[in-house]
Amino acid sequence: MADKPAPNPAAAKPNDGPGPDFVRAVIKEDIATNKHGGRVATRFPPEPNGYLHMGHAKSICLNFGAALEHNGTCNLRFDDTNPVKESTEYVQSIQEDVRWLGFDWQGRLYYASDYFPKLFDFAVELIQKGLAYVDDLSADEIREHRGTLTGPGKNSPYRDRSVEENLNLFMRMRDGEFPDGSRVLRAKIDMAHPNLVMRDPTLYRIRKVRHHRTGDTWCIYPLYDFTHCLSDALEGITHSICTLEFENNRALYDWVLDNVSAPCHPRQYEFARLNLNYTVLSKRKLITLVQEGHVRGWDDPRMPTIKGLRRRGYTPESIRFFCERIGVARRDSTVDMALLEFCVREDLNARVPRVFGVLNPVKVVIENYPEGQTETITAPLHPEDASFGARPVPFSRELYIEREDFMEDPPKKFYRLAPGREVRLRYAYFITCAGVVKDPATGEITEIRCVYDPATKGGDAPDGRKVKATLHWVSASHAVPVEARLYGPLFTVPDPGEGGDFRAHLNPKSLEIPPGAVVEPWLADQPAESGWQFERLGYFCVDKDSAPGRPVFNRTVALKDEWARIQKAGG
């Protein structure tokens, strides 16, 4: 990879953005008061039922980041309690993504399924204390008994079974004596509790399904509310950080830990999940996009998944910087995609070499340049950082420039090439437009005729005369054809999730591939994932779909475009 190495991942932070967030404030306070002996232990607990996306990145940066800042630990724990949805494919990719983002769980890789035996014992303990019972009601009946938001629920007729009967039934549930869905284990709390989560929540259900790790050992599986708090306690977590929608569940988190002989009682803190405009960040919607073929897979560069962003050319640093800058708070918010794009540009600007590519070529013929002659120009790979070195760029009589860099009848503020006007070909020569050749049938310009000034070799005029524009170019006979994949927002509206079918707002132009794109020969066989700046166009990276001599480039993000701004402002 030609890219510059990143600075120390853990140390890499933007020198701006918001100050410490409320979670870090709590941690700081707890350390000051020696609450856990100064210890900080967090965890990132994904369910292996999908690929990680930017929302997870926020959580990863928070959990790993906050731990790292205090010499603490952060476990990677798979919350794998629902075998019907989970698979090893996901546990694999999640590990890859966390590592790629630059975080290390230092061997503390855990699975909730590893705790199944202990969880079972805790359930037995609850039954023995008269705090849990086996219920024979169906799912529908349980729902009917739950009551409403404003009205209390009703007790199940099975609520007052004896401890012995409950124990007996629960063992037989475990032993597979009853069919799926026929019985559940429920906590005995309060069917009139104002918090619906506390109306005798289900703790265990029967699922005669093979689990990706425990196989057929179990046919009863614990639910989230029972599993998560105990997993945290078993791991000695000090700060259990999750998103706002789990706030109602905190009462149950605490209830379970208070009523069972748990080794400790971690505290749960909730923060607002990330929303990004012009995309969706919900596993359900993302999986729909993949399954219905609206994108080419989980790693489609248009996807807000970690794999998608990676393939698009985003760096781990840019994503981490982004997460630092958006902050962590308790209010719902939607972050502007422009901030994410700013973060990649910032990172790539410093780390990636500059090269020439022409997306929409038009031929330039330099009339006074000898036919058949080629000279090799040595061009810096990074004009602001000599350590990048230089690369050879062939120059000859026929070149390609960007079609948009020429106008026959230019408006006031256009100062690129036009008839009679002189511009600079970067690192090469000044050229002056002498005329154009058009297709007689369509009127389209097929060739721009120019003359060059040999005295301006390198790009400066000895007589000191100036030009207003500098153009990138590629020698026609040396040009390497490429597939350039240009991406736009996945959706046409800022909030595609807002009511109705989000798929109705899919952007038909989210991927465009201009025919005829070419690059300089230096780019013919660069490694996949290497990042480049095509001068004046944007940041690109080599896609894994590349074939030898036929590279495929993804445009990560375009450069800021002052001219586009002027055009837009001018109507």
| CB 67 within 8 Å of CB 43 | no
Q: Find the part of the chain contacting RNA (CB under 7 A) among 75-83, 357-365, 367-375, 392-400.
A: 75-83
Tell me, yes or no, if 444 is annotated catalytic. Answer: no
Binding of RNA by 206 (CB under 7 A): yes
Nearest CB to RNA, comparing residues 300 and 421:
421
Q: Copy the structure tokens of residue 362.
A: 């038009």
Q: Find the part of the chain contacting RNA (CB under 7 A) among 115-123, 168-176, 303-311, 342-350.
A: 342-350
Residues of span 317-336 touching RNA by CB under 7 A: 325-336
Shortest distance (Å) from residue 536 CB to RNA: 4
Cβ atoms within 10 Å of 362's Cβ, excluding its own:
21
Binding of RNA by 90 (CB under 7 A): no
Nearest CB to RNA, comparing residues 92 and 248:
248
Q: Which of 174, 183, 283, 302 is catalytic?
A: 283
Among 184, 286, 303, 309, binds RNA (CB under 7 A): 184
Q: In 3-state terms, what secondary structure has residue 142?
A: helix
| CB 229 within 8 Å of CB 257 | yes
Question: How big is the chain, counted in residues?
Answer: 571
Binding of RNA by 205 (CB under 7 A): yes
Binding of RNA by 244 (CB under 7 A): yes
Q: Find the part of the chain contacting RNA (CB under 7 A) among 222-230, 311-319, 514-522, 542-550.
A: 222-230
Binding of RNA by 150 (CB under 7 A): yes
Q: Copy the structure tokens of residue 268.
A: 């749960």
Shortest distance (Å) from residue 101 CB to RNA: 19
Sign of the four-CA dihedral 277, 281, 285, 287 = positive
Among 8, 33, 37, 149, binds RNA (CB under 7 A): 149
Binding of RNA by 485 (CB under 7 A): no
Tell me, yes or no, if 165 is annotated catalytic. Answer: no
Cβ atoms within 10 Å of 201's Cβ, excluding its own:
21
Q: Which of 4, 273, 296, 363 is catalytic?
A: 273
Among 43, 426, 485, 505, binds RNA (CB under 7 A): 426
Owner of token pair 């154009």: 436
Q: Which of 43, 47, 345, 535 is catalytic?
A: 47
- Residue 74 phi/psi, 5-degree rounding, is -135, 120
- Residue 319 phi/psi, 5-degree rounding, is -70, -40
Residues of span 500-529 touching RNA by CB under 7 A: none
Distance between CA atoms of 537 and 555, rounded to whole angstroms? Answer: 9
Q: Residue 245 carries which side chain, given as an amino acid letter? A: E
Distance between CA atoms of 216 and 121, rounded to whole angstroms? Answer: 19
Owner of token pair 């002052």: 562
Distance between CA atoms of 450 and 431, rounded to whole angstroms? Answer: 6
Binding of RNA by 427 (CB under 7 A): yes
Q: Copy the structure tokens of residue 72.
A: 């603490």
Shortest distance (Å) from residue 352 CB to RNA: 9
Residues of span 251-290 touching RNA by CB under 7 A: 272
Among 1, 196, 386, 437, binds RNA (CB under 7 A): 196
Number of H helices, E strands in the chain: 13, 27
| CB 541 within 8 Å of CB 313 | yes
| CB 343 within 8 Å of CB 325 | yes
Q: Site size for RNA, by CB under 7 A? A: 94
Binding of RNA by 165 (CB under 7 A): no
Tell me, yes or no, if 154 is annotated catalytic. Answer: no
Q: Which helix (H) or strand (E) holds 300?
A: none
Binding of RNA by 223 (CB under 7 A): yes
Binding of RNA by 26 (CB under 7 A): no
Nearest CB to RNA, comparing residues 57 and 300:
57
Active-site positions read 47, 273, 283
